[in-house]
């Protein structure tokens, strides 16, 4: 098992990594451990504790529960390099999806303890990981204090975007969530009844469809507009 330094030229072809500060690039490459994964083998499973950041450098990967895999439409082809796994850096919650190799694949893995130590030593690096997640969501990620000060509807919209879009094309943009998924976010901070009332409002706006325990996202663009209240608050 080797580190990631031999993959620098490949990774520099990806926008996020190419635009990182040189010292952060060096730190990630030195900390990364190469993993060769056979088809069908899990990288992590739903319910696993946060386990760090991954880069796909060869092959293909897919994310989703077993049931979602059976129902899902064909995903867009992901061309390496592709970074994923950063959602747990922000919510600190167990993995919500299974991630498995679709082909004979090579990944670089930076473990959670290594990332935690890196961020403790260089807290300014967190903005770089936020930029990776923001690119997938399509909005700049506000800090937790800003997020907690938003109206209930905007906070819930952010949580749905984080879960539904934060996995990017790897999961073909996750569109079905549970109430427990949404309520688990510390930043939401709503009772079950209050959360349901917000979701019912989003349903009336035809942004989501609400079943007894499931939420299906119908209009991501409208959901982003609801969350964009955070943009104004952040820049004020």
Domain containing residue 214: CATH number: 1.10.10.10
172, 195, 176: which is closest to 184 by C-alpha?
A: 195
Q: The tokens of 145 are what?
A: 């204090």
Q: What is the pLDDT of residues 46-86, one digit of tens each?
A: 889 999 999 999 999 988 765 555 555 555 567 799 999 99
| pTM of the shown model | 0.83
Same domain, 105 and 167: no
**133: CB partners within 8 A, 6+ apart:** 86, 87, 90, 141, 162, 166
Q: Has residue 231 got a pLDDT over 80?
A: no
The residue range of the domain holding 225 is: 144-235
Overall average pLDDT of the 215-232 stretch: 81
Same domain, 85 and 51: yes
Q: What's the number of domains the chain is made of? A: 2
Q: Which of 87, 120, 137 finishes a domain?
A: 137
Shared domain check, 130 and 29: yes
Residues 31 and 124 in one domain: yes
157 and 107 belong to one structural domain: no
Are 196 and 169 part of one and the same domain?
Answer: yes
Condensed to tens digits (0 to 9), the pLDDT of residues 138-153 reads 888 877 778 778 889 9
Question: Do residues 116 and 198 both lie within one domain?
Answer: no
């Amino acid at each position: 098992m080797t580190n990631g330094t031999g993959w620098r030229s490949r990774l520099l072809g990806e926008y996020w990594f190419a635009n990182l500060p040189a010292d952060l690039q060096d730190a990630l490459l030195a900390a990364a451990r190469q993993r060769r994964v056979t088809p069908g083998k899990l990288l992590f499973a739903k319910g696993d504790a946060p386990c760090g950041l991954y880069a796909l450098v060869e092959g293909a990967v897919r994310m989703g529960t077993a049931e979602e895999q059976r129902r899902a439409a064909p995903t867009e082809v992901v061309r390496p390099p592709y970074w994923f796994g950063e959602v747990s850096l922000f919510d600190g919650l167990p993995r919500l999806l299974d991630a498995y190799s679709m082909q004979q694949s090579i990944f670089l893995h930076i473990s959670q303890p290594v990332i935690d130590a890196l961020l403790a030593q260089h807290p300014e690096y967190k903005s770089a990981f936020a930029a990776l997640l923001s690119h997938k969501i399509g909005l700049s990620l506000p800090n937790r204090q800003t997020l907690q000060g938003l109206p209930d509807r905007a906070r819930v919209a952010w949580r749905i975007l984080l879960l539904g879009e934060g996995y990017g094309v790897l999961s073909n943009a996750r569109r079905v969530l549970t109430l427990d998924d949404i309520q688990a976010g510390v930043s939401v901070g709503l009772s079950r009844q209050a959360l349901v009332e917000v979701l019912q409002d989003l349903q009336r706006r035809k942004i989501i469809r609400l079943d007894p325990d499931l939420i299906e996202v119908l209009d991501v663009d409208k959901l982003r507009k609801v969350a964009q209240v955070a943009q104004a608050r952040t820049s004020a």
